[in-house]
């Protein structure tokens, strides 16, 4: 089945992890097996050939570069200007991939519809470009609102104001504070441009300020459920209900520590916990039960989002293994129509109502 993955840090992998995603996955792993600078070296699961093998023809692809103040324990850039330069380098990589025929940027619903037709009518997917919608994860790299307009012209269509910790526009995971004045100005300018607010990573206080009041479209590209995995990174039932009321789609993430309680990053292993892809179905089903339907969930895998197989389900060897989801959902009682909506159509329907032709 066709699959739309609403969160992949492709350019981060290319620039910061130095991965050539055009290559076969074994080649990428082999080339970095000798490296020890990051815990996921040699354990990545994403490449363009694997995305095509998994019929993942559309994704939301990120720019990401966090600014951190002196004394912060978080990794990040030491000035917003450096963060801007990093995101512009990421954009240059996406553009190079377009020129090589590996990717195709999607900016309008007409382009989205044409790209879907290309993939759905092709007899073989080996040479097809992977469609991507550009999203900014954490807004620290936007030096001014003029930079937001410039990015929109470059194709940016969604912005998550926060990432981890204190941010210039909003606080994110493991922090909490109201939206800054700059954050409120950012949201107003995003509204004027018709941009999607990605509520993912917003701290609770910022979430309850931003989501009820934002006049544009809202989605959550990669989140799971706090009732199953208690942590501020996940959504409470009250937050999920609000997102449902706003017509949002919530993407299911496959980062192990979000999937089951008690996971300690760097210590717990998939083998010790028997963590499997099916564990995410519990999160998905929880949201569907709150909604009373399957129209507000999708896939936002976050695979290779600074972790690899050491922090992923035991039965996920490649991003192509997301194709086991239809059988798991069918076994849970979901209809073929519901499964199609979860795998791709919910995101497409969201964009149809949010975008102009």
- Look at phi and psi of residue 230 and say left if phi exceeds 0, alpha if psi is from -120 to 50, else beta: beta
The vertex-320 CA angle with 350 and 197, nearest 5°, equals 25
Pick the CATH number of 3-95+133-354 from 3.30.1130.10, 3.90.230.10, 3.40.50.300, 3.20.20.140: 3.20.20.140
Q: Mean pLDDT, to the nearest integer, of 193-209?
A: 98
* Nearest Cα residue to 251 out of 7, 54, 12: 7
Write out the two tokens for 221.
Answer: 């590209």
Are 248 and 220 in contact by the 8 Å Cβ rule? The answer is yes
Q: Mean pLDDT, to the nearest integer, of 89-104?
A: 98
What lies within 8 Å, CB to CB, of 305 at 6+ separation is 7, 8, 9, 12, 222, 255
Q: What is the DSSP letter of 78?
A: S
The pLDDT assigned to 356 comes to 77
Gap between the Cα atoms of 125 and 119, Å rounded: 7
Please report which confidence band the pLDDT of residue 203 belongs to, taking 50, 70 and 90 as the band edges.
very high
The pLDDT assigned to 152 comes to 98
| Residues in a beta bridge with 103 | 130
> Where are the domains positioned within the chain?
3-95+133-354
Q: Beta strands 250-252 and 218-219: pairing type?
A: unpaired
Gap between the Cα atoms of 322 and 39, Å rounded: 23
Gap between the Cα atoms of 126 and 133, Å rounded: 20
Gap between the Cα atoms of 195 and 174, Å rounded: 26
Residue spans of alpha helices (H) in 211-322: 237-245, 256-259, 270-273, 278-291
* pLDDT tens digits, 253-296: 999 999 999 999 999 999 999 999 999 999 999 999 999 999 99
Please report which confidence band the pLDDT of residue 1 belongs to, taking 50, 70 and 90 as the band edges.
very high
Are 45 and 316 in contact by the 8 Å Cβ rule? The answer is yes
Are 19 and 38 in contact by the 8 Å Cβ rule? The answer is no
* pLDDT tens digits, 142-172: 999 999 999 999 999 999 999 999 999 999 9
Own/partner long-range contacts of 163-168 (Cβ < 8 Å, ≥24 apart): 163/64, 163/66, 163/137, 163/138, 163/201, 164/66, 164/74, 164/201, 165/66, 165/68, 165/72, 165/74, 166/69, 166/72, 167/66, 167/67, 167/138, 167/139, 167/140, 168/67, 168/80, 168/139, 168/140
Gap between the Cα atoms of 18 and 1, Å rounded: 31
**Number of Cα atoms under 13 Å in the Cβ half of residue 242:** 16
Q: What is the DSSP letter of 227?
A: T
DSSP 281-295: HHHHHHHHHHHTSSS
The pLDDT assigned to 250 comes to 98
Helices (H) and strands (E) in the chain, counts: 15, 9
Please report which confidence band the pLDDT of residue 231 belongs to, taking 50, 70 and 90 as the band edges.
very high
* pLDDT tens digits, 294-318: 999 999 999 999 999 999 999 999 9
| Percentage of the chain lying above the pLDDT 90 cut | 99
**pLDDT above 80 (res 357):** no
**pTM (predicted TM-score):** 0.97
DSSP 324-356: GHHHHHHHTT--HHHHHIIIIIHHHHHHHHHS-
Sign of CA dihedral 67, 155, 94, 147: negative
What lies within 8 Å, CB to CB, of 11 at 6+ separation is 61, 62, 63, 64, 89, 90, 91, 93, 94
């Amino acid at each position: 089945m066709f699959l739309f993955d609403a969160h992949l840090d492709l350019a981060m992998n290319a620039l910061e992890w130095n991965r050539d995603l055009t290559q076969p996955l074994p080649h990428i792993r082999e080339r970095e097996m000798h490296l020890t600078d990051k815990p996921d070296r040699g354990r990545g699961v994403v490449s363009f050939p694997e995305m095509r093998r998994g019929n993942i023809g559309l994704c939301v692809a990120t720019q990401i570069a966090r600014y951190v103040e002196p004394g912060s324990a978080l990794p990040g850039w030491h000035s917003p200007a450096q963060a801007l330069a990093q995101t512009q380098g990421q954009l240059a990589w996406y553009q190079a991939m377009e020129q090589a025929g590996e990717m195709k940027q999607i900016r309008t619903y007409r382009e989205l519809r044409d790209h879907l037709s290309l993939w759905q009518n092709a007899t073989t997917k080996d040479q097809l470009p992977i469609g991507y919608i550009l999203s900014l994860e954490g807004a620290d790299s936007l030096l001014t609102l003029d930079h937001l307009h410039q990015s929109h012209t470059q194709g940016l269509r969604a912005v998550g104001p926060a990432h981890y910790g204190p941010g210039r526009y909003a606080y994110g995971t493991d922090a909490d504070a109201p939206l800054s004045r700059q954050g409120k100005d950012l949201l107003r300018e995003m509204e004027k441009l018709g941009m999607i607010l990605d509520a993912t990573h917003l701290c609770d206080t910022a979430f309850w300020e931003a989501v009820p009041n934002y006049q544009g479209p809202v989605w959550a590209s990669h989140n799971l459920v706090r009732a199953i995995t208690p942590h501020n990174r996940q959504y409470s039932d009250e937050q999920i209900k609000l997102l449902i009321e706003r017509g949002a789609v919530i993407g299911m993430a496959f980062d192990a520590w979000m999937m089951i309680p008690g996971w300690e990053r760097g210590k717990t292993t998939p083998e010790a916990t028997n963590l499997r892809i099916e564990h995410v179905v519990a999160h998905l089903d929880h949201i569907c039960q709150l909604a009373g339907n399957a129209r507000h969930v999708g896939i936002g895998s976050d695979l290779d989002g600074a972790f690899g197989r050491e922090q992923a389900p035991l039965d996920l060897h490649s991003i192509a293994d997301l194709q086991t989801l239809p059988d798991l959902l069918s076994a849970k009682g979901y209809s073929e129509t519901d499964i199609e909506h979860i795998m791709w159509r919910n995101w497409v329907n969201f964009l149809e109502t949010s975008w102009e032709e």
